[in-house]
Every structure is written in structure tokens, then in C-alpha cells.
Amino acid sequence: MKRLPLAANSIRQSVIRMLVEAKSGHPAGSLGMAEVFTALYFGVLRHDPTNPSWKERDRVVLSNGHICPVLYAALAEAGYFPKEHLLTLRKLGSPLQGHPHVGSLPGIENSSGPLGQGISQAVGMALVGKRENQDWRVYALLGDGELDEGQVWEACLLASKYSLDNLVAIIDRNNIQIDGTSDDVLPLEPLSEKFSSFGWNVVVVDGNNINAVLHAFSMAQSCADKPSVIIANTISGKGVSFMEKKFGWHGKSPNKEEGELALKELAEERKKLEAM
Amino acid sequence: MEGNPTSANLVPDVFAAAVPKKASRDGFGKALAELGEKDQNVWALTADVSESTRTHWFAEKFPGRFVQVGVAEQNLAGVAAGIAACGKKAFISAFAAFSPGRNFDQIRVSVCYSNLNVKIHASHAGLSVGPDGASHQILEDIAMMRALPNMTVLVPCDLEQAKKATIAAAALKTPAYIRTSRENTPVFTTPQTPFEIGKANVYRDAKDVAIFACGLQVFEALKAAEELKKKGIEAAVIDMHSIKPIDRETIVRYAKQCKALVSAEDHQVNGGLGSAIAEVLCELHPAPLVRVGVKDSFGESGNCAELYRKYGIDAAAIAKAAEEAVKLKSSE
């Protein structure tokens, strides 16, 4: 079962290449979430990359739009569009906007950027699915810093009110945000208890362990009558030693030399994976 | 014909005591319930104000397409965007002070940037909300909404027109803003009065001065025209129910015909109807314009008529502005 770790490695390499070329963007969260996106697009989702507007598809709503490099890389890896397009990220006229825009790129379900907005849209979609007895699901991805936004909790209350068990939220719990650690900027703990007191089923997982992440998704899916949240403990900048756990890499792109170093590390990891 | 109502199919005598007084929010609510009957894709959402916004008539009939989000206007707009992303027509209703007052960012990014089929019904707008005071009297919403790409902005003048505006907005696949009031005011338009988005309604034609008004100021403008007539000034009255798109052709026509213009609205003079008209005039046909609206201040508690008088947006203020506009023309 090295297909998935290899896909995660490819996604990380794409993220680095995109950000070096774009000269701006957000590496830390993008790298840290590579396993979650791999699990989603290569294990969990009911989707068809050749038919992105398929009515029966599962919906992926990226609420923390700034980590879109990992979403774009995963979509390209899954075949939604050619990988060459990734290098146009953030450039004039590109469908790969600095934050996602509906209609610009196949596979994008929501426009995002201002934090807290995606989860509400995911709730709206899940509500339609539930009321119309559809069996597709909605997966909403949020950052932990994003939980500072009050709108998130408005949405959580409503999801619970309407028992949206077709909705799974995934929190990227990397404990970094722009000004520092989330423990310093605005403490979130006890986080699991917050969600469970809001009426959500909570699954906590090592977000950089693909098998554990896949298991967490199946736990979330099997819970009836409640929305589920997967708190994915991740390492920001995962896979690139000099970026790991450093909040300075939240919104700073690697330069060419740093990019080469990062790609070298990732290539070595890939060799090890292939030899396994 | 000059100075007289045109063939706009208004009630026979708009000032008669027999003309029923009702709130424009009722027109929205009736149209919404009608739309719900005809179209299974119509959904309605509210933020704990279903009765006040007249969304409860829809909710009672179609509970399966009604969503009560609680006092959470940011989530209201976001959930509606998600519903619209699934191919539905989502109507959100709340007090204008809170939606779009509080959720501008959600309307901008979740709704307008994605160009989704979400209609924003904002009731209790302007000074007309009265005793609740300044916090609830939003006077900046038209400015905010007309600045947004993809947005249509409608300000109906009475119950009948609110109905038509709601039905016309529903026919669009794009975002629209519908501003209504709580105050009971004369229902002086009729089911036969024309309504077309982007096309102003001329209720009086004249050559001395043209008054462009929206919302409750349309009736005030009709009263002002009667007063002006007594002073020998013939005023045209034009109902600008569509702020965006705005009827540039009618504005320019009256700039040429009257050479003196007045705008009137229950909104700040900055950014609303008056500003929109000034933009058209400056670009296409400069002419003197006197703007009637709230002059860069907050409101206060009081009843609608008292507030309209104190803040200078009633018929008397409009008539005074018209006289000023006429003077500006002759001093040129």
C-alpha cells in the first residue's frame, strides 16, 4: 500500500514547485495537509475527475482557502486538469487563483479566502443533500486558526440542529497561525470538548498518517444523526525539515534555493517509499 | 398632461384616505409564498425574524424548504450560498441593519464572487424603522450593495411593487438585493403598474424640475409635486426602483428636459440613489442636482413621520430641494 504515500509525496513536490514559481503563497498548511487530501481524493471521495459537475459527487469545500496549493495539486494528481497548469498559480489570467474561485477551475466547489465562510456553505450543501435524501456527502476543510472566526460556530450550531450526518469537517490542527502558535494567539483547547458540546461526533487523528486518516473518515461516516469533525493533528510544513512547525512559513513562499533543497528532501523520501 | 400623473396605472387618487396603507415587506412575503408554490427550487432562510420579514407565510407552507438559522446573519448568507450552489434559489431575509449590515463579507465572497442565485431581502431599512433608533436604522446598505459586482439592487416603493420586485429578482439567476420597510404606507401602485428591472417608472411628467426617488420617498415626492404645483412649479416624479442597474437613459432625458434635478431616499446622501444619479449626470450630461437624504449622520428614536421631518427627507424637504434646484438652473 505505497500508492497513497507516493501520491502524498507527489502532491508535496507539486506544492513546492508551484510556490517557488508563484513567488508567494502558503506552504505550511499546504504541506501539512498532504495526507488528508491524498486520503480524500484517492480513498474517500465518490467523484469523477472527468465529470466534475456530476450531481451525485461528494462535495469538497475548502474553507481555509489559503491552503489551495494542496487542493490544486491534489486535483491535478487526481486528473481534474493537467499538472502543467499548476505552475500558473497566482499569475495573471490563471484559473489557479491565489484563493479558490468557483467557475475558474474544475473541481472547485466554493470561492473562499475570508475565513469561516466555507463551513457555512458546506452546511447549506449538506442540508440540501439531507432534505432531498441524497447519498452524496460534504467534506469541509478548515484551519485551526480559522476557528477564531465566530461564523464557524454559528455554522456548527446549525449543522447540529439539522443532524447533518452527511457532513464531515476536517480541522487542520497544526497549532500555527500568522502571528504565532494558536495557543498564544487565541487558545482553542479543550477543542474536542468544544465540538462535542456543540453536538458533533469528534474523531481525533494523526493527520500525517494516511492509514489513520482513512480510518478516521470511516469512523466519521459511520456516525448517524450527528455531523462529524475530524481533528487532524498535523505538522505544519511536513516533509520539508526546515519548514516544519515554524509559523514563519504560514504565508511565505520558498525562494529558488530553498525550493531546490525542499525538493531534494522530498525526492529522497520518495526513493525510500519506492524501496519499501 | 404636464404636472399630471402619466399613464402609469397608479390608483385613481393616490392621496385619497381610502388608499390602503400596508408595509412593503408584506409584498415580499406574499410574492415569496407564491414563488414557493410555483417553483420547487425556491428556498427561504431567516435569522430569527421570520414573521417580521414576512417569511413565515412561506415557512408555514413549505417547511421542507425553509431554514431557520437563528440570530446568525453571517451563517445565513453562507448557508444560502451553499444551498444555491446545489442549484436552488435561496432567499434570505433579515433586518437590513444586520443583513447586509453585518454580513457584507459573506455576501461579497460567498455569494457575489461565486455569482450564486441568492436573493437578499432586507426589511426594516432606513429611518422609517423609527423607535428602535439609530443602531437599527441602516442608512448605508444601498451604497454597500450597489458597489458589489454581479449584484442587482431594488428598492420598491410600496407593497405592490415589492411583490413585483421579488418576482423579477427570482427570474434572475444572479444575486439581487431587495430593500423593504416595516412602516405602513399607501399602496398607490397597482397590479397593472409596469415594473422592469433597470427601467424607471415616470409617475408625473413635467418640465421645471425632475424628482428621482426610491422606496418610501416616491410617495413623498408625489406629495411634494402637489405642493410645488401650488407655487407654479411643475415637477416630474420618477420612481427609481432599480438602483442597479440604473436607468441612465431616463436620467439623461430629464436632465435635458428639466435641467434641474432632485434625488430623494431614506439613506445617506453619500453612496445611495443620489450618488448613483450624480455619477450618471457627470459622465453623460451634467445638470444641477440637489440630493435629499440623511446628511452624513446617524438617526435616533422617533416615529417615521417625525424622523422624516427632522432629518429632512419628507415631502416638505423634497419640495424645498426642488425649489433650490430650479434656482440653480436660473442662476446658470
DSSP bridge partners of B21? B186
Residue B134 buriedness (CB in 10 A; 0-12 / 13-18 / 19+): middle
Q: A32 CA to chain B: closest CA distance, Å?
A: 26
Instruction: Give the minimum alpha-carbon distance from A113 to chain B in angstroms, rounded to a whole number.
Output: 8
| A-contacting residues in B 82-141 (Cβ below 8 Å) | 82-86, 88, 90, 105-106, 109-110, 113-115
Give the pLDDT of residue B332. 62
Q: Indicate which residue of B34, B51, B73, B306 is catalytic.
A: B73
Cell reading at A120: 457555512
Does B95 score more than 80 pLDDT? Answer: yes
Which whole-number Å values give the CA distances from A216 to A74, A223, A258, B64, B72, in the listed order?
19, 11, 34, 32, 30
Annotated domain spans of chain B = 21-186, 201-331
> B327: which residues sit within 8 A by CB, 6+ positions away?
none
Please state, in angstroms and rounded to a whole number, the distance separating the CA atoms of residues B196 and A102. 30
Q: Which secondary-structure segment (H or E) carries A169?
A: strand A167-173
Of B77, B84, B113, the CB nearest to A111: B113
Grid cell 428556498 in the structure block, residue = B43
Fold of B201-331: Rossmann fold (3.40.50)
pLDDT in tens, A67-77: 999 999 999 99
Mutate to test the interface with B, among A154, A156, A167 (most CBs of B within 10 A): A154
The pLDDT-based confidence of B7 (bands split at 50, 70, 90) is low
Query: Domain B21-186: what homologous superfamily?
Result: Thiamin diphosphate (ThDP)-binding fold, Pyr/PP domains (3.40.50.970)
Residue A103 sits at the chain B interface (C-beta within 8 Å)? yes
Pick the CATH number of A3-275 from 3.30.70.141, 3.40.50.1240, 3.80.30.20, 3.40.50.970: 3.40.50.970
Nearest residue, CB atoms, A102 vs list B65, B74, B114: B114
pLDDT (average), residues B229-239? 98
Average pLDDT over residues B86-90: 98
Q: What is the pLDDT of residue A276?
A: 87
Q: Could you write out the DSSP letters of every residue in B256-305?
A: HHHS-EEEEEEEETTTSHHHHHHHHHHHH----EEEEEE-S----SS-HH
Q: Does B150 touch chain A (CB under 8 A)?
A: no
Per-residue pLDDT at B2 exceeds 50: no
Q: Is the pLDDT of residue B44 over 50?
A: yes
- Nearest to residue A15, comparing CAs of A79, A90, A80, A94? A90
Cell 442565485: give the residue. Answer: B117
Q: Residues in chain A with pLDDT < 50?
A: none
Q: How far apart are CA A87 and CA A166, in angstroms?
A: 35
Is B69 in contact with A103 (Cβ distance < 8 A)? no
Nearest CA in chain B to A138: B82
- Residue A1: the pLDDT is 73
Residue B224: which of B130, B323, B139, B318 has the closest Cα? B318
Using pLDDT thresholds of 50, 70 and 90, give the confidence band for residue B6.
low
CA distance B216 to B267: 11
- Rounded to the nearest 5 degrees, what angle is found at the Cα of B117, between the Cα atoms of B115 and B121? 110
Is residue B5 pLDDT above 60, yes or no?
Answer: no
Shortest distance between the Cα of A103 and any Cα of chain B, in A, equals 7
Cβ distance A120 to B82 less than 8 Å, yes or no, reads: yes
CB pair distance less than 8 Å for A121 and B67: no
The chain-wide mean pLDDT, for chain A, equals 97
Question: What confidence tens digit (pLDDT) does each residue in B277-325 have?
Answer: 999 999 999 999 999 999 999 999 999 999 999 999 999 999 999 999 9
Tally C-beta pairs within 8 A across A and B. Answer: 98
* DSSP structure string for B207-254: SSEEEEE-TTHHHHHHHHHHHHHHTT--EEEEE--EEES--HHHHHHH
Tell me the pTM.
0.97
Q: Which tens digits make up the pLDDT trace of A56-93? A: 999 999 999 999 999 999 999 999 999 999 999 999 99
Question: Residue A205 is placed in which grid cell?
Answer: 487523528
Alpha-carbon distance B66 to B45, whole Å? 6
Q: Does B72 touch chain A (CB under 8 A)?
A: yes
A119 vs B contacts (CB less than 8 Å)? 78
pLDDT over threshold 70, residue B1: no
Please check whether the two domains, B21-186 and B201-331, share a CATH topology.
yes
Q: What is the pLDDT of residues B169-188, one digit of tens each?
A: 999 999 999 999 999 999 99
Percent of chain B with pLDDT over 70: 98
This model of the complex carries an ipTM of 0.97
Phi, psi for A176 (deg, rounded to 5) = -125, 150
- The CA dihedral of A61, A64, A69, A71, to the nearest 10 degrees, is -20
**pLDDT-derived band at B329, boundaries 50, 70, 90:** confident
Q: How confident is the model at residue B227 (pLDDT cuts 50, 70, 90)?
A: very high
Q: Mean pLDDT over residues B155-172, rounded? A: 98
